[in-house]
Every structure is written in structure tokens, then in C-alpha cells.
Structure 1
Amino acid sequence: MTERQTAEQICPEIHYKKDRDRVTITGCYGIDGNLYIPDEIEGHAVYGIGPYAFSDGGEETDCVYLSPDAAYVGERHRICTDEVEEIRLPGRVGEIGRYAFYRCRNLRKLTLTDSLLDIGGGAFTGCRLKEAEIHFYRGEKSALKSIVDEIRFAIRAILYYHGAHGGVQTARILFPEHYEEAVENTPARLLVTEHHGSGGYYRQCFFNHELDYKKYDELLPFAVTEEKEETVIELVLGRLMYPFRLSEKSGSAYKEYLHGHMEAVGRYVAEREAFDEIRFLSRTGCFGARAVDEAVRRASELGHTELVGVLMNERQKLPAGKKKTFEL
């Protein structure tokens, strides 16, 4: 058991099947939907998540593991479907079975590594996963495309690229929502499929299990045309604050977008109390007077007093005589 694992709450009761030295999880039992699965169970590596493991399908199991704290946990029950909220998968998991998370409608966050490349059919059907955190140790291949292909709603990916000597580079990527709609063309007696949202384009930015950052960044015009301002601002700030594989040309395009939407940027940081984003915008000279003034106005309306104080301090930093301009 690693130091990291002992510091977190391990799922108190885990059902699994064992094949030689590999363990496949078939079900988790506990009292809440935040599930932390250890890397090893009784000396055997956790390699897979079985079919229907967190859905309401039938469970096939051979063994039961009880964590050291299981005796102190109240009456346990199977955690599945609507109860599942957050899952940390073991670092060596290389397979997720079909319909493993079927109808886990409240699953917010999934943490995994680049050991996982293949996901069974329908694994995330009926899910509204909001965030996928992936740790890379072997390169840039992962199961991210398989995940976002099954989630039509907006999903955020936090990607950590671990270097050989302990350094970590981070990317924060937004895949906007998208959906298809069948519209009847009555005169022609045809059904025409219409696509909504730019998320469909962004979900095509992969090659051989790797995210193509250049292609992703080139899609900004589609997001601007089809998404709300706050969605584009989130996407743009994610790329600028965590510029993994970001070219100078694309970085300039993102900054130009912020320049043209200062009031919207101000509302965005105020409504989300986005202190990190404010610090970034200030540090890089991208927080113009129009953005600050709008942020102060909106934060005051919402009663975010601490944020108003921070913003007033930012306003004082603006050079005299230039408080109505913005410079990249």
C-alpha cells in the first residue's frame, strides 16, 4: 500500500475476480459515492474494472476485500448508478468493461492513468461526467478520446504529464457540449441530422490515442461561432494558463479573443470567484480596465466581498492614464 493510498479513504469493501496475479473489480460497497480503489489487493495488482461494476447489472464475484477501516464503517451497501460521484482508478488499470458506469448520472470526476487505453462499449452511457484527470507516465497516449466520445455534455480534462526526473507539465482542456438532432424535411420526406455545438469538432482532435493540441487550438473559430462567451473564455483561459504544446500563433489568437471580450471576462471571473484566473490575467498584463470594472460591478451584485477587495487592488495596479486601455 503506497503512502498516497493510506492518506486517502480506501473503499471499505471491494468485490473482485482474480486471474493469476491480476485483479478485476466487480463491485464496491460502502456508505458514499466517493470511491478510492487501491493499486493492489492482497499483493495482486488491480488491472481491470469489470462489466457493469458500477451499474445495476448483475455482479459476478469470486473474492471480497475488506480495508483496514472496514470494521469502523457503518452498514455497507453496493455503490452504483446514481450514488457514484467520484472514482480514483488504480494506476495499472488497463481495461474497463462494457457498461461499467452505465447510468452513473452523478459521476462528477474520474481519475486514471495512461495505463488505460481501451474502454468497453457503453462504459459511460447515461453518465454526465464533468471532469477526467489523467496522469501520463509513458508518453501521451490515453483513453481520453474513448471517454469524451461517450459524453456529449461539456467535459473538462486535467492532464498531468510526468517527466522522467520528477517534473510535471499540466494541460487543462475543455470539450464543449454537442448533440445531434434529427429534423424532418417534410417536402422531401427525409430526416436530416443537424449538429449543435462545437464539441463534435473538438472530439475529433485525436490520432492514435493522442490529443492533437495543434488541431485543438485551430478550432477556436468554431467555438466562437457556436458557444456562449463564458464557454469560450473557460476554454481560452485553460489553454493560456496551462500552455502545454501551445504555439505562439495560437497563444496570440487566444489573447486576442480575451482582448475583444473584456466585459465578459470580468463577469466570468466574478461569478466563479476565479482567484487563480485573476492572478494569471494580472500577471500577464491581460486584465484590462474594462474587465476589472465589470468584475467589480458583478462581484458587488453577488456579494462577493473578498473578491471585490482583490479586484479593487487590481484596479490600483493599472498604470495612471491607461486605465481604459488593454494591451496584450
Structure 2
Amino acid sequence: MKNHFEWKIVETGIEITRYLGDASSVIIPEKIDEQKVVSLAAYAFERCRGLYELFMPDGLLSIGTHAFYNCRELRKIVLYNTVNSIGDGAFKNCGNLKEVFIYRVIPKTKCLKGILSEINQELHVTLDYGEDKWNGISVAKLVFPKYEFDYEEVTAARIINQVTYGSGVHFRECMFGGDVDYKKYDADFFVARANDSDETAAFLAMYRAFYPYKLEEEAQQMYLAYIKENLDYIFNLAAEREDMEILEQLSKLEVFDRESLERILKAASSLGKLEIIHFLLTYKKRKFGFSDKSFEL
């Protein structure tokens, strides 16, 4: 593995200076020659066109300036909360980055704000708080919507103003003191509903309902009401992706009543989704018992 990297010894361990391979999935080793990998140098992964996902090691402390510059196919990064420094432009032109997983966020996330400041597209973030549980829950899953900006001229005053579109700026402003202000995050849901796509709003609501870390009762009811109101749309999202986890989580939330379940079963039948039909029929039997109505595939 170490042959895929150029590296040098620094004061605290090993710094990766250049990735030499062309793999789509890269695991950076935790140690090289028995010394911990502690940093990624500037431009270390520059223009790695085929890089799709990256797993960074526990103990990594810093990500250098433009470390992933122009990694245009990068979709997923996994890292630990040991990272406390992210250089300017580290993820510049990583326009397809969609998923971020951060492990051992104890007690706060040191690196999420730095990543969000680099990325203006929609980002799905999983935060694992480890032993720092809230009501027995240690994982939060969040959507940070996209935002775009433009410039407009106020002709009379000869002033150029920057104008932003989308709710992404609002949600990025939920980072306070190194961690997510969950109360503000949940309060901004109405901004996402007004400014972003139905898909973005649906995943935002589902993630908070499925992984209710620091979710207050009022916000929980808001998300559940949204899910129930948009159950058909959410089912279609799950069916298109053949995402059984969404359906399993929805069943745990008890959002299906008999009428909505029958409606969704018919939709699953019309789509020919046999695994989903089986799951829904099993759930129907468990929740409502046998019905005098027969269901035909």
C-alpha cells in the first residue's frame, strides 16, 4: 500500500505528499513504516480523475491546501474527527462530492465546518458521536442543501451585491462552536421546503426522523407530519432507488395507516417491485392482521 504514495517524515509522523495510483477507491493507511500518517500535503491528490471514494485514517490531523483540487469524480469521503485543519481550496472543484462520514465526533466536530465552507453543492453528512449519546442515540444524519450565488449591480449606487439562491447558506450557518446547532438546523426546515427541491426536503426530514440525535419533540412532530403528507412521493424515491432502508425506517416510525399502505402496495405492484411488495405485505400482516381483501401481484 505504501508504494502507492510519496511521503516524508515530519515532526509528528508521516505526511502523504502525493498519491501515485489511479484507483477509484483509496484507503490511506493509518501507518507507514510503523509511523502514524498525520497529514496530507498540499495538492496530494490533485487531478486524481478516477478517484470516487476515499477513506482517511484515524489519527490524521490536517488536510493541506488544494489537497483534492480537481478531483471531479470524488463522491464520498470517510474520515475521523481527529482532523482539525483543512487548507483553503482543499475540495475545490470537487463538484460531485455528495457523502461525508465523520467518526468519533467527541465532543464536537472539528472538521465539518471546514468541509462545508469548501462545498456549495448538496451534501449528505453522517456524524458518529461514539459514546456521546443523546437519549441512547449516537448517530446524526443530515442534509446540507446546495446554494448558488450570483452578482447583481445596483446601477444608481454603482454597487455590486452578491446574491445567494437556495437554503444552503442558512444550514451552513448552523455550525456554532465547532458543532451543529440542531435547534437552528431544524428551525430552518421551512426554508428548505420553500427554496429547495422536494427530494432535498424529503431526505432532510427522513434523516432527522430516522436518526433523531438532539431532536426535540416539536421538531420531531414537524418531520413526521411532513413525511405522512408526502408519503407517496417518499415511497417513489425509495422505489426508484430500491432503497429498502427507507421503507424499513418508515415502518418503524409507524407512519403507514391502512389506507396509505394499500395505496403504496398498488404502486409497488404497478412498478413490479417484488422485494418491496413482499416487505409491505409482511408489514401489513404484522400491523393489521389478515384482511378479507386479497392482493394480487
Fold match, TM over 0.5? yes
The alpha-carbon deviation at position 288 of structure 1 amounts to: 3.5
**Retained in 2: the 8 A contact 1:114–1:141?**
yes
Among 279, 284, 287, the alignment partner of 1:310 is: 279
Task: Determine whether 1:45 maps to 2:13.
Answer: no
Task: Determine whether 1:36 maps to 2:27.
Answer: yes
2-side partners of 1:288 and 1:259: how far apart?
10
**Retained in 1: the 8 A contact 2:43–2:69?**
yes
Q: Who is 1:253 aligned against?
A: 222
Q: Who is 1:143 aligned against?
A: 111
Question: The residue matched to 1:83 in structure 2 has which SS?
Answer: coil
1-side partners of 2:2 and 2:279: how far apart?
40
The alpha-carbon deviation at position 286 of structure 1 amounts to: 0.9
The alpha-carbon deviation at position 287 of structure 1 amounts to: 2.2
Stretches of structure 1 that go unaligned for 5 or more consecutive residues are 1-9, 56-79, 321-328
2-side partners of 1:211 and 1:200: how far apart?
14
Task: Determine whether 1:114 maps to 2:105.
Answer: no
**Retained in 2: the 8 A contact 1:198–1:223?**
yes
Percent identical across equivalent pairs?
A: 30
Task: Determine whether 1:272 maps to 2:232.
Answer: no
Question: The residue matched to 1:38 in structure 2 has which SS?
Answer: coil
1:297 to 1:152, Cα distance in 2 relative to 1, 3 A: farther
1:114 to 1:168, Cα distance in 2 relative to 1, 3 A: farther
Q: Report the TM-score when normalising by structure 1.
A: 0.79
Question: The residue matched to 1:98 in structure 2 has which SS?
Answer: coil
1:31 to 1:99, Cα distance in 2 relative to 1, 3 A: closer
Q: Who is 2:126 aligned against?
A: 158
Question: The residue matched to 1:182 in structure 2 has which SS?
Answer: strand
**Retained in 1: the 8 A contact 2:122–2:143?**
yes
1:299 to 1:186, Cα distance in 2 relative to 1, 3 A: farther
Tell me the alpha carbon deviations over residues 137-176 of structure 1, each in whole angstroms, 9 at most, x when there is no partner. 53123210111121111111111111189x9811111111
Among 69, 74, 81, the alignment partner of 1:102 is: 69
Tell me the alpha carbon deviations over residues 187-211 of structure 1, each in whole angstroms, 9 at most, x when there is no partner. 7765443321111111111112211
The alpha-carbon deviation at position 19 of structure 1 amounts to: 1.6
1-side partners of 2:263 and 2:240: how far apart?
11
1-side partners of 2:152 and 2:269: how far apart?
44
The alpha-carbon deviation at position 263 of structure 1 amounts to: 2.2
Matches within 5 A, 1:53-72: 53-55=44-46
2-side partners of 1:263 and 1:224: how far apart?
17
Tell me the alpha carbon deviations over residues 279-306 of structure 1, each in whole angstroms, 9 at most, x when there is no partner. 2222221124565355445444544222
2-side partners of 1:99 and 1:117: how far apart?
16
The alpha-carbon deviation at position 312 of structure 1 amounts to: 3.7
Residue identity opposite 1:224 in structure 2: R
**Retained in 1: the 8 A contact 2:107–2:132?**
no
Q: Who is 2:145 aligned against?
A: 176
1:312 to 1:183, Cα distance in 2 relative to 1, 3 A: farther
Among 232, 244, 251, the alignment partner of 1:263 is: 232
1-side partners of 2:258 and 2:202: how far apart?
17
Matches within 5 A, 1:67-78: none
Question: The residue matched to 2:49 in structure 1 has which SS?
Answer: helix
Residue identity opposite 2:75 in structure 1: R
2-side partners of 1:291 and 1:12: how far apart?
56
Say how many residue pairs are matched: 287
1:191 to 1:308, Cα distance in 2 relative to 1, 3 A: farther
The alpha-carbon deviation at position 100 of structure 1 amounts to: 0.4
**Retained in 2: the 8 A contact 1:299–1:307?**
yes
CA RMSD of aligned residues (A): 2.6
2-side partners of 1:297 and 1:151: how far apart?
40
